[in-house]
């Protein structure tokens, strides 16, 4: 029998997908994309895991372990929703809340610690000073992530007026 170089080896390292959420409607599209990809890979015999993280950004004026109840509650709701979406798709996820000074740095650090092979992020469509703005987190992750990054941008709002530039 010929050797198959593409055959999966017993005990192969588990592949990981990291999905940062922020409790926004656009998170659903990123989660479904990541979960669908994980399920497709599992269907091909790949060992896939999905980590969902909510990052609470702590102001510098407070200690890093400050009890920010309202933000932690929002994070719990976002993670509960992510677990529900995953369950509806027949997938289990590892969900966690992190407190950090910078959301982007926390996402990159977690991707390194977990050995993520892919980060799937959502970004809202919003403008700043008349131009589409990616915010601070996504550019940081795109620049520093040790793995691939997929981005799901929210659709342009229906009430958006195009400039002829």
Q: What is the DSSP string of 142-157?
A: HHH-SSEEEEEEPPPP
Residue 29 has which token pair? 């599209």
Mean pLDDT value across the chain:
86
Farthest CA pair distance, the chain: 66
Residue 19: pLDDT band (50, 70, 90) is: very high
The mean pLDDT of 42-66, rounded to a whole number, is 88
Confidence of residue 80 (pLDDT cuts 50, 70, 90): very high
pLDDT at 97: 95
Of 55 and 65, more confident: 55
**Could you give phi then psi for residue 28, rounded to 5 degrees?**
-60, -40
Per-residue model confidence as pLDDT tens digits over 114-138: 999 999 999 987 777 767 778 889 9
pTM: 0.84
Structural domains present in the chain: 15-153 (3.40.50.620)
* Total number of residues shown for the chain: 165
pLDDT score for 66 = 86
Residue with tokens 């950090």: 100
pLDDT at 141 over 70: yes
Q: Is the pLDDT of residue 74 over 60?
A: yes
């Amino acid at each position: 029998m010929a050797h198959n170089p593409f055959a999966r080896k017993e005990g192969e390292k588990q592949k990981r997908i990291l999905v940062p959420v922020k409790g926004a409607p656009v998170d659903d599209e990123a989660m479904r994309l990541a979960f669908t990809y994980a399920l497709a890979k599992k269907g091909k015999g790949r060992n896939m895991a999905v980590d969902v993280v909510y990052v609470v950004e702590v102001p510098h004026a407070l200690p890093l372990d400050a009890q920010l109840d309202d933000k932690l509650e929002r994070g719990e709701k976002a993670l509960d929703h992510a677990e529900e979406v995953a369950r509806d798709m027949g997938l289990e996820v590892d969900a966690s809340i992190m407190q950090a000074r910078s959301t982007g740095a926390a996402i990159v650090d977690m991707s390194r610690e977990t050995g993520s092979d892919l980060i799937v992020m959502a970004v809202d469509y919003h403008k700043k000073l008349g131009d589409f703005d990616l915010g601070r987190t996504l550019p940081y992750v795109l620049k520093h992530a040790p793995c691939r990054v997929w981005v799901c941008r929210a659709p342009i709002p229906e009430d958006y007026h195009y400039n002829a530039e």
